[in-house]
Chains A and B, each alone.
Chain A
Amino acid sequence: DADVTQTPRNRITKTGKRIMLECSQTKGHDRMYWYRQDPGLGLRLIYYSFDVKDINKGEISDGYSVSRQAQAKFSLSLESAIPNQTALYFCATSDGRDTQYFGPGTRLTVL
Chain B
Amino acid sequence: AQSVTQPDIHITVSEGASLELRCNYSYGATPYLFWYVQSPGQGLQLLLKYFSGDTLVQGIKGFEAEFKRSQSSFNLRKPSVHWSDAAEYFCAVGPFSGGYNKLIFGAGTRLAVHP
Interface residues of A (CB under 8 A from B): 4, 31, 33, 35, 40-45, 48, 50, 58, 90, 92, 94, 96-105
A36 → B minimal CB distance (Å) = 11
* Distance between Cα atoms of A48 and B100 in the complex (Å): 10
Q: From residue 1 to 54 of chain B, which have CB atoms closer than 8 A to chain A?
A: 4, 6, 9, 32, 34, 36, 41-46, 49, 51
If A98-B32, A98-B51, A104-B43 touch, does A48 touch B102 (CB 8 Å cutoff)? Answer: yes
Residues of A within 8 A of B9 (CB): 40
B69 → A minimal CB distance (Å) = 19
Is B106 a contact partner of A42 (Cβ separation < 8 A)? yes
- Provide a sorted-by-A list of 9 A–B residue pairs whose CB atoms are within 8 angstroms: A4-B43, A40-B107, A42-B4, A90-B43, A92-B44, A100-B101, A102-B36, A102-B43, A104-B41
If A103-B43, A104-B42 touch, does A42 touch B99 (CB 8 Å cutoff)? Answer: no
Given A43-B105, A98-B32, 11 more contacts at CB 8 Å?
A40-B9, A42-B108, A94-B101, A96-B99, A98-B51, A99-B46, A100-B103, A101-B46, A102-B36, A104-B42, A104-B43
- Which label, helix, strand, loop or mixed, suits the secondary structure of the A interface? strand
Is B101 a contact partner of A98 (Cβ separation < 8 A)? yes
B94 → A minimal CB distance (Å) = 7
Contact with A along B46-77 (1 / 0, CB 8 A): 10010100000000000000000000000000
Residues of B within 8 A of A104 (CB): 41-43
Is A42 a contact partner of B105 (Cβ separation < 8 A)? yes
If A42-B108, A43-B90 touch, does A102 touch B102 (CB 8 Å cutoff)? Answer: no
